[in-house]
């Protein structure tokens, strides 16, 4: 089966309260502070209408926040073996993600209240008076080559689906710089070794890099034949579309943080059953430039190379919805194809 998938991809690649204004809410304190976690009382149980039309996972009452274990640096023994399953290799990638930021030390989030159901085209009630990100150690973020290269890509796109994208020579060079930085990490090297062993990508690094470029950065059309989208834009940057002012994609925490800091994102509350300020996988609701994301999920603190590797693995090896165990997290990774390209990919806490 792996050979068939490889052949197909090779053939393809050959060719209500008012929304709070962003003023005071989005003045982000650059220094850590003790923040009291405030939660609203649980909603009344929701009927089938809400669970059918909204939510990546069921809702339930929030639980009290427990004191987290002491933060420990990631220590990896390269000689340790793992099982050959998709979950096994993805767990290995999590262990190898030494560039992952740690809650309480490198950043702090404030999940606050649980978000309410919002109809398509509606305005969500703001259940969070403060930003999601209390603070982030930006000096550390920008000191890591993959993060720095990743951030340079976030302003290369038009968020509106239907608007043709134009990739300049400078932007193309930034794409390659990002991939080169990722390929210097153990995370991408391990993913390459695994995928090449299954004949899903070329064995040489240059060939693998070009496959990654095609998967993530090649433009395709989501509407009216215009080259208006790519896997990278949808998953990591985000897009908006339609009369209902929907946000699609935008599953990356760095983009969430930077857009929130600018005042473009208004965080309106968490959506998952169990969420606390030390979670590194959250499900939330927010608006982006007036467009609504009723339910969106994202890792928090993970490196760009980890997310790139994880979603690539699930796209090439998985079956569209793959259950994985990553350290303390049981997660479903959902992946949709757009021909031979990545349409979307995102995590869902189980």
Q: Which residues are known catalytic residues?
A: 234, 251, 293
* CA nearest to 272, candidates 114, 85, 164: 114
The single-letter DSSP state of residue 65 is P
Element at 285 (helix H, strand E): strand 281-288
Angstrom distances, CA of residue 22 to CA of 13, 118, 266, 297 = 43, 20, 7, 22
CA 83, 87, 93: angle at the middle one, nearest 5? 85
141: its two tokens: 């973020």
Which of 68-103 are b and which e, b meaning 16 or more Cβ less than 10 Å from the residue's Cβ? eeeeeeeeeeeeeeeeeebbebbbbbbbbbebbbbb
What's the count of helices (H) and strands (E) in the chain, helices before strands? 12, 10
């Amino acid at each position: 089966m792996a050979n068939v998938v490889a052949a197909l991809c090779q053939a393809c690649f050959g060719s209500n309260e008012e929304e709070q204004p962003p003023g005071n809410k989005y003045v982000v304190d650059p220094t850590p502070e003790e923040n009291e976690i405030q939660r609203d009382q649980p909603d009344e149980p929701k009927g089938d209408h809400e669970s059918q039309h909204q939510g990546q996972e069921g809702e339930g009452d929030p639980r009290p926040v427990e004191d987290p274990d002491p933060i420990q640096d990631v220590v990896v023994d390269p000689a340790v073996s793992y099982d050959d399953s998709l979950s096994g290799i993805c767990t290995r990638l999590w262990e190898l993600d030494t560039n992952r930021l740690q809650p309480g030390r490198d950043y702090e989030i404030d999940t606050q209240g649980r978000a309410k159901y919002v109809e398509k085209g509606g305005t969500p009630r703001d259940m969070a008076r403060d930003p999601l990100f209390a603070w982030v150690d930006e000096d550390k973020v920008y000191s890591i080559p993959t993060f720095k290269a990743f951030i340079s890509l976030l302003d290369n796109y038009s968020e509106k689906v239907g608007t043709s994208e134009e990739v300049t020579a400078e932007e193309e060079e930034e794409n390659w710089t990002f991939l080169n930085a990722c390929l210097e990490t153990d995370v991408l090297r391990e993913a390459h070794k695994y995928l090449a062993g299954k004949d899903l990508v070329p064995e040489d690094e240059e060939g693998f890099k070009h496959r990654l470029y095609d998967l993530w950065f090649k433009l395709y059309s989501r509407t009216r034949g215009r080259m208006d989208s790519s896997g990278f834009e949808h998953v990591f940057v985000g897009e908006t579309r339609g009369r209902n002012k929907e946000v699609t994609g935008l599953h990356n925490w760095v983009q969430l943080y930077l857009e929130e800091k600018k005042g473009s994102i208004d965080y309106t509350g968490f959506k998952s059953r169990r969420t606390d300020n030390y979670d590194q996988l959250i499900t939330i609701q927010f608006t982006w430039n007036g467009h609504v994301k009723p339910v969106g999920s994202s890792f928090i603190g993970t490196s760009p190379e980890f997310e790139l590797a994880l979603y690539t693995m699930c796209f090439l090896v998985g079956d569209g919805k793959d259950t994985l165990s990553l350290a303390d997290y049981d997660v479903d990774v959902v992946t949709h194809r757009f021909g031979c390209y990545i349409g979307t990919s995102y995590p869902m806490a189980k």
